[in-house]
Chains A and B, each alone.
Chain A
């Protein structure tokens, strides 16, 4: 294991955080839009 693991961990954390945040934001908007259609 070399000293670059910090960059690797940061990179994978950024990837997981970005994709999860985008997915959750999309999901929430979709639920709100579906509720709106049901109004």
Chain B
């Protein structure tokens, strides 16, 4: 592991530890929601990081589709970021459910925000399954890039669902239409912003590791294929051309 990556990992760990102290000890209890509101310091950044991860997947997919910028790295980055996005989406759904029980009185509600987020989770789960289908790297890259761009259409739907429909889920606390931060005092908004910073550092660390793994696996597959072709050539077998 490079020194830069070690530093990134250390920064992510330190910021997450300080987030735990801020969220559980320093930030005051919410006047209406009580201590359940402390779940927002992990639920909100998990949801935001899912958006970011899927945005990176969409951009990398577009760069793959554009012939002038096509590179295997974009395809591998798209897959790596989507996998992490799925982890964060699952986390956001579970944490939302744990917050919903004491606040809404239910573990699950077919509310527009919750439902579109669940759809987002399954869309990208399907995308990850599509990445595992047998094909050449070129065919897989193109097929998955198109799927990623289609799946990304759900991200603005998730974000604006609270303004487009009457929902039980509250409006955005920070990035709302009035850009009015609906939190009081200093520590509550600071902890929320800090949580996004800490989770972003963690995402940067994880996506770098995941991309490195994808590159190693891709290289291994390519060298296995080359070895198999060389063995068949040595044995005098005809090597099939084309097909998948």
Contacts and interface: CB of A to CB of B under 8 A. Distances in A.
A26 B87 CA distance: 12
Interface of A: 1-5, 7-8, 10-12, 14-15, 18-19, 22-23, 26-27, 29-30, 33-34, 36-37
Interface string B23-53: 1100001000011101100110010000000
Interface stretch (B118-126, B147-155, B178-186, B202-210): B202-210
Contacts of B34: 2, 4
A34 to B, nearest CB: 7
A27 B212 CA distance: 11
Contact of A30 (B38, B42, B98, B213): B213
18 contacts: A1-B35, A4-B102, A11-B39, A11-B42, A11-B43, A12-B20, A12-B24, A15-B95, A18-B90, A19-B87, A19-B91, A22-B87, A26-B206, A26-B209, A26-B213, A30-B212, A33-B220, A37-B219
A36 B221 CA distance: 11
Contacts of A14: 91, 94-95, 98
A interface, by DSSP: helix, strand, loop or mixed?
helix
Interface of B: 20, 23-24, 29, 34-36, 38-39, 42-43, 46, 84, 87, 90-91, 94-95, 98-99, 101-102, 202, 206, 209-210, 212-213, 216-217, 219-220
A15 B220 contact: no
A33 B43 CA distance: 33
Contacts of B98: 7, 10-11, 14
A33 B217 contact: yes
Contacts of B210: 26
Contacts of B216: 30, 33-34, 36-37
B220 A37 contact: yes
